[in-house]
Structure 1
Amino acid sequence: MTGTAIALATVFALPAGAAPAKPGGEVGAAHAACGTTKPDKDDSSWLATAETAARQRSGSSTSCTALGTAQTSDRLDYHCYTVGNDGYTWTYLRNDRTGVAGWVRDDLLEDHGSGVPC
């Protein structure tokens, strides 16, 4: 790799742990501002779960209000995903146990979230 190629790869690198664009779909509008809700576009089954206890937020940012917490035993209904300002993909979902809908960063979800862009 040339010095220029290495420099460009460094400049365009994703944050550590950030997911690249999901296969099979282009990324929807970047970042969901706090208070953003989305319709259910993802018709996948409700077998999705959190990999670890994960806060459900009002937007695709850790600075948005936490609305609830998805536990590892909760069934989650994915609606769609987008990319936050932090470079991570985030899924808008509804927790079947609590009824709370909100945004969860995909690296906190067992199967890395929805595959359907918002």
Structure 2
Amino acid sequence: MSSRSVVAAVAAVLALGATTLVTTAASAAPATGETGVGALSCSHDHANRDSAWGRIQGNNVNYRSGPHTNCSSYGQFNNGDKIFYHCYTTTQNDGTWTWGRKDGTNRQGWIKDTLLDDGGSRVRCP
């Protein structure tokens, strides 16, 4: 076998190995919404640890089942609604969110901190 044939055979084997490695790595990553590293979970612990409150900035502000915009909305709050804070969490892609309850109701859920007049809770969730 000539040296050119050997080099070509080695190059073909290396190319096949690289293709297999890239394909395996790509298929191992979890899709959005699945469990695993990097997945966006709509299930986060929260507890009533904060005595502070703030007000909603804007109309039709969603309060959600989890601290991500892809999580289900339970409903909406409006500008000036008073929200009692329970605690906050930080997400990898969506910043900080506060679990809160609207004054005088049982309507509660995760609210993006940029939609609260003072930036939300200062007490981290469990």
TM-score tier (shorter): 0.5 to 0.7
Partner residue of 1:102 out of 109, 112, 121: 109
For the aligned residue pairs, the C-alpha RMSD in angstroms reads 2.0
Instruction: Confirm or deny that 1:117 pairs with 2:121.
Output: no
TM score, norm. by length of structure 1: 0.64
Partner residue of 1:78 out of 77, 85, 88: 85
Partner Cα distance (1:96, 1:108) in 2: 16
TM score, norm. by length of structure 2: 0.61
Percent of matched pairs sharing the same residue: 36
Deviation at 1:99, TM superposition (A): 2.0
Partner Cα distance (2:102, 2:83) in 1: 5
Aligned residues of 1:79 and 1:91 also touching (Cα < 8 A): yes
Rg larger for: 2
Aligned residues of 2:87 and 2:100 also touching (Cα < 8 A): yes
Aligned to 1:42: 50
Deviation at 1:116, TM superposition (A): 0.6
Partner Cα distance (2:66, 2:108) in 1: 11
Partner Cα distance (1:111, 1:42) in 2: 14
Aligned residues of 2:49 and 2:87 also touching (Cα < 8 A): yes
List gaps (5 residues or longer) in structure 1: 1-30
Partner Cα distance (2:64, 2:40) in 1: 10
List gaps (5 residues or longer) in structure 2: 1-38
Higher relative contact order (CA 8 A, sep 6+): 1
State the SS of the aligned residue for 2:75: strand
Counterpart mapping for 1:1-118 below 5 A = 33-36=41-44, 38-44=46-52, 46=53, 48-53=54-59, 54-118=61-125
Deviating above 4 A after TM superposition, structure 1's stretches of 4 or more consecutive aligned residues are none
